[in-house]
Amino acid sequence: MRAPTFDLTLLRTLVAIADTGSVTAAAKRLAYTQSTVSMQLQRLESQLDVNLHERAGRRLRFTPEGDRLLAHARRLLALNDDAWSDMQARQVTGDLTLGIPEDYASLLPSVFAYFHQLYPAVGLTVKCGTSAHLVEQVKAAELDLALVTRQRNSPGGDVIRREPLIWAVGIHQQPSLSDPIPLALYSPGADVFREVAEQALQGAGRDWRVAYTSQSMAGLAPIVTAGLAVVVVTRSMLTPSLRPLDDSSGLPALPMIELALHRAPRRPSEPARRLGELIREQLAAPSEAL
């Protein structure tokens, strides 16, 4: 008698439902229809003869049996993916260049480490610059990929993450929030954060002054930490020396920004395609919560 085996496609659907919290979101992630995801979940339950889920309002919640299977599913899929990557990695060679703003470098260490582990024969070069400049470089095929803040005057790229902007001050010291508000802003043309901050304050009828400028958060942080200015950041850019301001600060709400992955106009190389996929996988998950 042949030993029963799990269908990894069904297990991958189970994990997608767990990660997204709903059949609808799982279908979107997997590029399936909702009915396909539902049928795959039902098929898994039928094969095991157990109830793996139950409804909790609009969301789907796993039963204890579902949680047990989910743990096994993650391990099985990880082993499958590692084995597949190991066999494929031997065939992937070449060089590629990725452009990122300096402030986004903190988002990618695990991506770089994992990419090198999977594809040790690929030479990866990372170049930092402003989002606007990086977009021009990737359009000119001077870069293979660029992960940037999406520009209003040059949208393009594939949006892989959305983050709300917030006002932040030093963890121990902050300036007066009365007009004119002292701001630490990116240099003109460095990114969209400056434009967003000024438009929000103008729309709220607030006055401000530019206390400090720099092309990166590393340059802005010292004056903000010292309590001399307010800065606009995303939550992923907060450091232990910064504290976000809430609605009680009286400062206007800020919009979401989008992180977009731009690709050179030529056909992407295999290393570029795989790095792009890995960046999307690693950065897409927490988008709305940031």
CA distance 184 to 210: 6
| E strand or H helix that includes residue 232 | strand 230-234
Nearest one of 81, 30, 26, 70 to 48, comparing CA atoms: 70
213/236: higher pLDDT? 213
In the chain, the percentage of residues whose pLDDT exceeds 70 is: 93
Q: What is the mean predicted confidence (pLDDT) over 35-50?
A: 91
pTM beyond 0.85, yes or no = no
Question: How many C-alpha atoms does 220 have within 13 Å on its Cβ side?
Answer: 30
Mean pLDDT value of segment 72-93: 82
Task: Answer whether residue 38 shows pLDDT above 70.
Answer: yes
Mean pLDDT, residues 273-284 taken together: 87
In the numeric block, which tokens belong to residue 175? 């300036």
Report the mean per-residue pLDDT for the chain. 87
Query: Of the segments 59-63, 152-156, 212-216, 230-234, which one has the largest average pLDDT value?
Result: 230-234
Q: What pLDDT does residue 290 have?
A: 33
283 or 7, higher pLDDT: 7
Q: How confident is the model over 157-204, as pLDDT tens digits?
A: 888 888 889 999 999 999 999 999 999 998 776 568 888 899 999 999
Q: What is the pLDDT of residues 95-144, one digit of tens each?
A: 999 999 888 887 888 888 888 888 888 999 999 988 888 999 999 999 99
pLDDT class of 287 with cuts at 50, 70, 90: very low
Task: Give the pLDDT band of residue 288 (cuts 50, 70, 90).
Answer: very low
Cα distances (angstroms) measured from residue 180 to each of 4, 12, 175, 227: 70, 54, 11, 15
Per DSSP (E only), the strands in 78-188 are 94-100, 122-128, 145-149, 158-170, 181-186
